Chain A
Amino acid sequence: MTAAIEARGLTKSYGATRALDAVSFAVEPGRIVGLIGPNGAGKTTALKAILGLTTFEGELSVLGLDPRRRRDALMREVCFIADVAVLPRWLRVAQAITYCEGVHPRFDRRRAEEFLRKTDIRPTSRVRELSKGMVTQLHLALTMAIDARLLVLDEPTLGLDLLYRRKFYDALLNDYFDKQRTILLTTHQVEEVENLFTDVIFINHGRVVLAESVENLGSRYQQLTLAGEQVPRGRALHPFYEREIFGRVAMLFEGRSAAELGALGELRTPSIADLFVAKMQERAST
């Protein structure tokens, strides 16, 4: 299958800083990919490049199009929500719907209205009259009403309460996602959505640190919790990260077999959040 997104040697500099440093990765269609990295890692720059909002060097193909030259064609099949409020303050809710309907061939007015009926947002309200959470809800309603093949979400639930975040991700999975769609998502609340991802890409200092499908993570990475005289024996197997929890030591290994590690202590697959922290620290220390 052709990749939904394919980046090769993607590079972007802002002055002397390299936001993206020869980044290569591929996103297969029908996947939910978490793009995870600390602030300033280059996540947003990567998303902007994918969406045709910035210039860059290297090769990038999104749904078979070059986003630099074909942003308008690409946006018929791609939706995105940035992590900053971007709806203009003067816009009325009804106007937003009319506008999207008037320019987007795949916008479904009924879907947007249905979504909004479940909220307290009135069609006559202007964006400036809505609370922060309501603005996000409105933007999500507009985006979810578009039948897109690639959905790019940068911190989509920022500023929403836990109840609404849960509802949003449920809706995303049950009503929106299917095998024809691809979702690329960044979030800081990794714990909350890690069951959602089928793939993760870790990015730090403009470089891809890890790009793996979630089903492969279990066979590639192991977390071993051990104590006492087992600790030096564990260290002898070269964990790439360790941390002390209540007197016991958690070690993360790459590419070790369960047979090798199982005898030393408790073995399990690390959570994405743990793996992320480990990978970021590893880079910082090397």
Chain B
Amino acid sequence: MNSTLADAVDGTAGSPAGSETRIPSLPPGRVLLTLVRREFWEHRYLWLAPVVIAALLALSPLIGHGALQLPPFGAAESRVALSTLVQWGLWVPLCVVMGFCLSYYLLDCLYAERKDRSILFWKSLPVSDALTVGSKVLVAVALVPLGVFVLALVTHLLFSTILNLRFTIGNEPLLIFNFVQWLRTEVTLFLVLLLAVLWYAPWGAYLLGISAFARRSPFLWATLPLVLAPLLERMVLGTHYLWSFINYRNYGMWAKLGIGHGNGHIFSHDHVRPFGVLLDDLDFRGAFTDLDLWLGVAVTVALVFLAIRIRARRDDTAW
């Protein structure tokens, strides 16, 4: 790494300039780590927004003053179930925030570098277009979802601890922590998150492609076709296949899991069930082996390749 001028001279002096004396690149892992760090430097909302929301959620039981004594209610079993429902309830808003952040990120990341011309700086360094775009995909499909998952886990533990310190039933904690039920809930949430990442990946890649392609207003480029194309189809052909397709790619995942087909009821009129029962109720096997899911993943890969190609070829930066 500590190359000196002498190295450079040794490296080239023996052979004519222009020959194949090549400088080896840095280990790809190190380069990738640097690229990922750069993404979080530039797009600070990717970690800032979830962390702020998580902190607000975790500290929300501090609102109000004094310890409360609630009248005894529910069996211990229900209070275990309640704990897992809180676990799920804290996970949902974090995932929604993540969805917004990632959509904005994917639509912005390749457009912003052309708009502020920093692409000329990034391209002046020995990083391929594939690795650059790859680092952005890695951030969106793996690092941020994993980070949010861990964040939700920590939020739940903090939230429950604070709540139980302040609110008690008799001398019993309000929420009862049961390791097995907790773990089953975490596994369920993880599988749903993993499925969601795979199912929504083509939308993300679509936004990434628009980001690489649009000369201006990527937001309009991304949204207008989705509104105008179905409208046009309806006016010209009188059909609504496109609209159904868009809807399917938005909500289809939940039907694959069997939600809305009588499965996955946690609440019933007389009691609540722990969230982890969804592990048995929902059709994860069916959802993960669904052809449309993997077709979507294939489309994602194709769109990412397209984005890489556009970034390598596009020359619309004023210089």
Contact = CB atoms under 8 A, between A and B. Distances in A.
**Residue of B20, B30, B121 with highest tally of chain A CB at under 10 A:** B121
A77 B119 CA distance: 19
Contact of A103 (B17, B118, B127): B127
Interface stretch (B37-45, B227-235, B255-263): B37-45
A84 interface: yes
A164 B44 CA distance: 35
B127 A4 contact: no
Given A53-B123, A63-B18, A147 B3 contact: yes
Contact of B17 (A63, A101, A104, A178): A63
B17 A149 contact: yes
Contacts of A77: 22-23
A99 B124 CA distance: 12
A160 B91 CA distance: 53
Contacts of B4: 147
A124 to B, nearest CB: 13
At the interface, is chain B mostly helix, strand, loop or mixed? loop
B41 A91 contact: yes
A114 B9 CA distance: 22
B17 A2 contact: yes
Nearest to B120: A86
A53 B117 CA distance: 12
Contact of B319 (A44, A87, A139): A44
Nearest to B44: A90
A147 B315 contact: no
Given A82-B319, A99-B34, A72 B128 contact: yes
B313 interface: yes
A180 B25 contact: no
A159 interface: no
Interface in A51-77: 51-55, 61, 63-64, 71-77
B3 A105 contact: yes
Chain B interface size, under 10 / 10 to 19 / 20 to 34 / 35 or more? 35 or more
A52 B128 CA distance: 11
Nearest to B18: A2
A189 interface: no
A235 B74 CA distance: 112
Contact of A53 (B2, B16, B35, B315): B315
Contacts of B13: 180
Nearest to B33: A102
B5 A102 contact: no
B20 A64 contact: yes
A103 B34 contact: yes
Contacts of A143: 124
A180 B9 contact: yes
A86 B114 CA distance: 10
Given A2-B19, A48-B315, A180-B9, A104 B125 contact: yes
B113 interface: yes
B126 interface: yes
A86 B121 contact: yes
Contacts of B312: 71
B8 A180 contact: yes
Contacts of A1: 16-18
Interface in B113-154: 113, 116-121, 123-129, 131
B236 interface: no
Contact of B113 (A71, A81, A88): A88
B12 interface: yes
**Residue of A86, A103, A182 with highest tally of chain B CB at under 10 A:** A103
Contacts of A74: 126
Nearest to B12: A180
Contacts of A71: 123, 128-129, 312
11 contacts: A48-B319, A53-B120, A77-B23, A82-B117, A87-B121, A88-B113, A88-B121, A108-B3, A147-B8, A180-B13, A182-B17
- 3 A-B pairs closest in CB distance: A102-B34, A2-B18, A29-B17
Given A72-B128, A92-B41, 20 more contacts: A48-B315, A71-B128, A72-B131, A73-B126, A75-B127, A76-B23, A76-B126, A84-B120, A84-B318, A85-B117, A86-B117, A86-B119, A88-B118, A90-B41, A100-B125, A102-B26, A103-B26, A104-B125, A105-B3, A147-B8
